Amino acid sequence: MSEIQYQSAKTVKEAVKYMQAAKGKGYILAGGTDLLVQMKSGARSPGVIVDVKKIPEMVTVTEKNGSFTIGAATPAAVLGENKKLRKTWPGVIEACNLIGSTQVQGRASAGGNLCNASPAADSVPALVAAGCIVNVAGPTGKRKIPVEEFCTGPGKTSLKTGEIVVSLTLPKRPKNSSDAYLRLIPRTEMDIAVVGVGVSLTMKGDTVADARVGLGAVAPTVLLVKDAAKALIGSKLDDAALDAAAAACSAACNPINDKRGTIKYRTKIAGVLLKRSAMIARDRINGIEHRGHRPV
Amino acid sequence: MSEHRPNTEGKYKWIGTRPERPDGADKVTGRARFGADFSLPGQLIGKVLRSPHAHAVIKSIDTSKALALNGVKAVITAQDFPDQPNLIVPTGEMQVNMRDITRNIMAREKALYEGHPVAAVAAVSEAIAKQALSLIKVDYEVLPHVIDVAEAMKPDAPILHDHLLTEGANPPASKPSNIAKRIEFKKGDAKAGFAQAQVVIEKDYTTQAVHQGYIEPHATLASAAEDGQIQVWSTTQGHFQVRGFCARLLGLETSQIRVTPTEIGGGFGGKTVVYLEPLAMRLSQKSGKPVKMTMAREDVFRASGPAPGGNVKVKIGAMRDGRIVAAECIVEMQAGAFPGSPVGPACMCSFACYDIDNVYIEGFDVVSNRPKVAAYRAPGAPISAWAVESTLDILAQELDMDPIDLRLKNAAKEGTKTAYGVTFNTIGMVETLEAIRDSEHYKSPVKPGYGRGVAAGFWFNIGADSSAASHVGEDGSVTVISGNPDIGGSRASLALMAAEELGVDYNKVRPIIADTASIGFNFVTGGSRVTFATGLAVVNSVRDMIRELKVRAAKIWKIDPEAVIWEGGMAKPAGNQVGTFEPLSLADLAAQAGRTGGPINGHAQLNVTGAGPGFGVHCVDLKVDEDTGCVHVGRYTAAQDVGTAIHPSYVEGQLQGGAVQGIGWALNEEYIYNAKGKLDNPGFLDYRMPVASDLPKIETILVEVPNPQHPYGVRGVGEVPIIPPIAAVGNAVARATGVRMVDLPMSPPRLSEALDAARPMKMAAE
Amino acid sequence: MAKIHVNTTINGAPTEFLCDANQTLLDVLRDNLGLTGSKEGCGSGDCGACSVMVNGRLVCSCLVLAPEAQGMKIETIEGMAEGDKLHPLQKKFVEMAALQCGICTPGFLIASKALLEKYPNPTEDEVRYWLAGNLCRCTGYDKIVTAVLDVAAEMRESAR
């Protein structure tokens, strides 16, 4: 009956080949936690489903000279179990570990979360704050895309036909540097972010030497908020700097009114979460532990 | 800490104990079979085509292409069902009109809400059935729609039903409107009461539609034979209602339909009506094959009965000492696409917790382009209670009175006459308030940053029709047969009462839920009636069986049956003067049954009256994140007059589950419609029911004030617990933040906005 | 389109089935293999009623494609008891009335077992967050959480 094909690729090359042959009707199956739901609702009708979980480099985490590369299809739960990764990028990992329930964690991946291109994707603001690079492979070879440029609109990415995301590379962490991610949801779990904010900070003494801010669910794509970072850099994270950064986040918002929140609320919360995330990132630099929203 | 305060200490051997439920092993191993777990060889899969429009005339339906598709065995539309008369039938605590039911299961002249069924198909696979749906061409004329109650009541609103004249309108209605009914209840002279009051509080509230949220979607399997007989498996709270409705809808006799209830994965009132069953039956008749149908979650939200939202105006007048002298409540309630909201019970329950001399209550039943509402745990009562109990909290603050003391001062007691005319027998409102007042929770100081809210609730509970049978097996073990689906442990409570009555071990009694052909009529599992009413039928059937057992013992002993007593599971001579005989056990009597008159059974059939009303008082401590409007519930205690807790664990479970549904209703649950009249959140992701991490422990206090009209003092317990939580949460929010919420749900965006609006005023006041 | 032939292991037993490319593991368990203990409450991963273990990890079987099961080890509620011996969690759920209607129970049991295998000494908060993906509308979660904590304590005790 089914018109759909299922292909399990063994190598990146093979996956690219399947995707290219599918002529735009191919969908990558990583964790499947978005794709299967979209297939059920009719929102996406794949011609070919390309399972990439048997490709070793897409489901493993490697470290080279202090830089981590995360296989795009690695389940979030596996990322959370990687102690060194978690210690180096606590914000990125807590963001990944907020994607769905424990059950969803067993399947959902950062690569899938990114490629689904939801403006409310939990991992993406943290990846943006982290300065993550997306490693793409395609029929014409490999390329690297800064994560903040990867999505082009709700459900849309800059991938060309036949291209797939192989992995995500996080840069080497400077000293005195850490990150945090916070999202606002109406319940304590099982919701899509109404607003999500990722902050990555590098301190020199008690002064912010470098900062990046990623802001989700307030615009068609996740935003890199340079003005917020500017407001933080050079400050001691005093109230005035935090207020200015929060105001920059609110100003960057271009949200919609929907079932998950109003424009007014989202704009306000963007600022609230910026302040809270920045304080957590600083605490972490100072060795104060924050275990994140979810205790397990 | 949870507490159980039995009034029956030492009186019973089994009642009040906590044995394992008879269906426990089945339900923890996956063996128990729920609605979607039944299949038959050769079955077809049925699927429903639903209206994409909130309001549209169905000009024509062309099913020819669907029928022509290979693998499609039957297609039906409203034309496959006879039209029905304007006839009201009860479904539990709500009533439905047959004319409307047939239009709700399958749209006839118009589609009245998004998701309204317009056609159905049966095919050899789900994929083919789905493809067939896409081949059905429906020609709609889209009409303006109306979702909101206040909008629907306006004179220029789009009219759903041209025949609908407001019943009870004053003056009588002369042209159609969306107001199906106006009702009123009066006691004393409200006007005079308010004139006398030293303090009058008046406030308007709104609530949104919410769904029962049972985890198991509706599912059914129907198998029609060529001779007109049909077997049906259905996940339902009332298989006799399924039989009754479907017999009418299909023009059959009830005896032609045999409905077997599957295990039921939650209902809360939502599974007291029919949706899929008549469609599956008709498809099976047309195709000659069994037809299985299940709803997707999205369909459950879009097209099965939610509970209504409504607008409530409350006015309460009191003296400075806290005595309430006048009360008024006006409720406008969504009925959905067809008349029949629970506005009646909402009105009746509004002030039933209190003894007030002067009361005026008015209610409006309003149709709009939403799915027809269904019962949801104490239908209507949480809505009016939210408004009344919030207003009482404002009054308590105004009078600077403890909110429990205020309620105690006005509490209904034995002899209190309600505004709807009933005078209470023995009730436990005062005892329940005292239970909270004296609880460790209420006595503990409120933590910094937290607010504490309390609220009360009342529900009638019902009795109605029940049948039961008891059989002694050949070896002396016992089977007890009744006809109410077990939705939360009722097998255990029925077996406990049977064991108590018989004087035998609980594990010797096997409770069975029979299909419609194997036991006499039983009204739905609803209205908090099963342990009370069906329990009484079980007790009476056991008593009938004991009567027979005594006759058999008398026969063996050759004495008068009157001279035999039943004690400790044995027949014994009534006294020494009767003669000296060794007691006869069930096993002894069963072994000789062939020689004493054959099988030993007992039967009972009752229309049970004398349901004991229930009262609950809840107390909650919570804090609000003032920057985000997120609420953290820190501590929760629910106290209730439960009559006698037959199986205390399952009684506690009712209190805990009801409280959490109420917390969800208060904080995040709501139906959200877009401008086109389509439901925007038809899934568990955006219809936000509480998850485990949202909640603290739910502590319970079981207060036992026995119902004098039941042999074991049973009162219904299932519904009361959903009534107090909404106001308890709202009152706690008000006390934590100084902001009084009047619109539900108190979700973070809404609460945040209210907090922001209040901030300048608060700062000015400081 | 021809059906896909899948070889897998379910509750320790080698199992093979034919499926379509778009069928979910839940569909196959329930409709092809008659393992109806895993329930469908939503079909979108939001209720946890279809929870199973795949290669030792807790997942929603409605979010796994059936063809993916090739070569995997799957554990369902039907395999939780050993012969006629209930798992301590199953026993405790019955004993403590941690279920009312029972539709969510298989999912809660599978998820709780996964929790205790990973965190034998969970706090109440940890239990609540771990189980947040399992919806229960009857119990208010109270007795479920208590049952899991009780079993954890007993299992630690007996492991000593």
**Same domain, yes or no: B519 and B639:** no
Domain boundary among C19, C51, C79: C79
pLDDT, position C1: 62
B45 touches chain A (CB under 8 A): no
CATH assignment at residue C33? 3.10.20.30
B199-207 and B310-318 strand pairing: antiparallel
Q: Which domain holds residue B550?
A: 464-608
Provide the chain A residues 178-207 that lie in CB contact (below 8 A) with chain B: 184, 186-192, 194
Mutate to test the interface with C, among A35, A101, A104, A294 (most CBs of C within 10 A): A101
**Same domain, yes or no: B603 and B638:** no
Residue type at B595 in one-letter notation = R
**Same domain, yes or no: B672 and B623:** yes
Domain count, chain B: 2
Q: Which residues of A touch C22 (CB under 8 A)?
A: 2, 4, 39, 49
CATH assignment at residue C127? 1.10.150.120
Domain boundary among B608, B643, B661: B608
Question: B476 with B589: CB under 8 angstroms?
Answer: yes
Q: Which residue among C23, C58, C129 places its CB closest to the CB of A294?
A: C129
- Do C57 and A1 lie within an 8 Å CB cutoff? no
For B24, name the nearest residue in chain C, comparing CA atoms only: C94
A48-51 and A5-8 strand pairing: parallel
Region B244-259 average pLDDT: 96
Q: Decide if pLDDT at B760 tops 90.
A: no
- Reply yes or no: is the peptide bond before residue B745 cis, omega within 30 of 0: yes
pLDDT, position B1: 60
Q: Which residues of B touch C86 (CB under 8 A)?
A: 25, 28-29
pLDDT, position B4: 83
Q: Decide if pLDDT at B46 tops 60.
A: yes
For A296, name the nearest residue in chain B, comparing CA atoms only: B693
- Do A190 and B684 lie within an 8 Å CB cutoff? yes
**Same domain, yes or no: B508 and B629:** no
pLDDT digits (tens, 9 = 90+) for B303-326: 999 999 999 999 999 999 999 999
Q: Which residue among C101, C124, C140 places its CB closest to the CB of B266?
A: C101
SS3 per-residue string spanning chain A: CCCCEEEECCCHHHHHHHHHHCCCCEEEECCCCCHHHHHHHCCCCCCEEEECCCCHHHCCEEEECCEEEEECCCEHHHHHHCHHHHHHCHHHHHHHCCCCCHHHHCCCEHHHHHHCCCCCCCHHHHHHHHCCEEEEEECCEEEEEEHHHCEEECCEECCCCCCEEEEEEECCCCCCEEEEEEEECCCCCCCCCCEEEEEEEEEECCEEEEEEEEEECCCCCCEECHHHHHHHCCCCCCHHHHHHHHHHHHHHCCCCCECCECHHHHHHHHHHHHHHHHHHHHHHHCCCCCCCCCCC
pLDDT digits (tens, 9 = 90+) for B614-663: 999 999 999 999 999 999 999 999 999 999 999 999 999 999 999 999 99
Q: Which domain holds residue C40?
A: 4-79
**Same domain, yes or no: B746 and B637:** yes
Q: Which of A1-5, B521-525, C24-28, C68-72 has the lowest mean pLDDT?
A: A1-5
Region B207-215 average pLDDT: 98
**Same domain, yes or no: C125 and C65:** no
Q: What percent of chain B has pLDDT over 90?
A: 95
C48 touches chain B (CB under 8 A): no
Residue type at B405 in one-letter notation = D
- Do C81 and B34 lie within an 8 Å CB cutoff? no
Q: Which residue among C93, C100, C135 places its CB closest to the CB of B489?
A: C100
- Do C137 and B266 lie within an 8 Å CB cutoff? yes
**Same domain, yes or no: B488 and B435:** no
- Do B685 and A272 lie within an 8 Å CB cutoff? no
The answer to whether domain A177-285 has CATH 3.90.1300.10 is no
**Same domain, yes or no: C103 and C152:** yes
- Do C43 and B692 lie within an 8 Å CB cutoff? no
- What are the angstrom distances between the C-alpha of B368 and each of A25, B151, B159, B340? 42, 9, 8, 12
- pLDDT classification of B578: cutoffs 50, 70, 90: confident
C43 touches chain B (CB under 8 A): yes
- pLDDT classification of B367: cutoffs 50, 70, 90: very high
pLDDT, position C64: 98
B662 touches chain C (CB under 8 A): no
Residue B193 lies in a domain: no
- Rounded to whole angstroms, the Cα distance separating B271 from B267 reads 5
Residue B553 lies in a domain: yes
Q: Which residue among B672, B691, B756 places its CB closest to the CB of A187?
A: B691
**Same domain, yes or no: C66 and C13:** yes
Domain boundary among B568, B590, B608: B608
Mutate to test the interface with C, among B4, B27, B513 (most CBs of C within 10 A): B27
Domain ranges of chain A: 5-170, 177-285
Q: Which residues of B touch C81 (CB under 8 A)?
A: 29
Averages of pLDDT over each 10 residues, chain A, 296 residues: 84 97 96 96 94 98 97 97 96 96 97 98 98 98 98 97 97 97 96 97 97 97 98 98 98 92 95 97 93 71
Q: Decide if pLDDT at B341 tops 70.
A: yes
Region B399-404 average pLDDT: 98
What ipTM was assigned to the predicted interfaces of this complex? 0.98
- Distance (Å) from the C-alpha of residue A108 to the closest C-alpha of chain C? 10
- Do A259 and B753 lie within an 8 Å CB cutoff? no
Q: Decide if pLDDT at B343 tops 60.
A: yes
- pLDDT classification of B96: cutoffs 50, 70, 90: confident
Domain boundary among C55, C79, C103: C79
Which chains are adjacent to chain B, needing at least 3 Cβ pairs under 8 Å? A, C
Domain boundary among C38, C54, C79: C79
Say which residue, B218 or A2, is predicted with more confidence. B218
**Same domain, yes or no: B589 and B602:** yes
Residue B32 lies in a domain: no
Q: Which residues of A touch B694 (CB under 8 A)?
A: 187-189
**Same domain, yes or no: C14 and C34:** yes
Question: B494 with B511: CB under 8 angstroms?
Answer: yes
Domain count, chain C: 2
- Distance (Å) from the C-alpha of residue C60 to the closest C-alpha of chain A? 6
**Candidate CATH numbers 3.40.50.300, 3.40.50.620, 3.30.465.10, 3.40.50.2300; the one for domain A5-170:** 3.30.465.10
pLDDT, position C39: 98
CATH assignment at residue B758? 3.30.365.10
Domain boundary among B571, B589, B608: B608
B697 touches chain C (CB under 8 A): yes
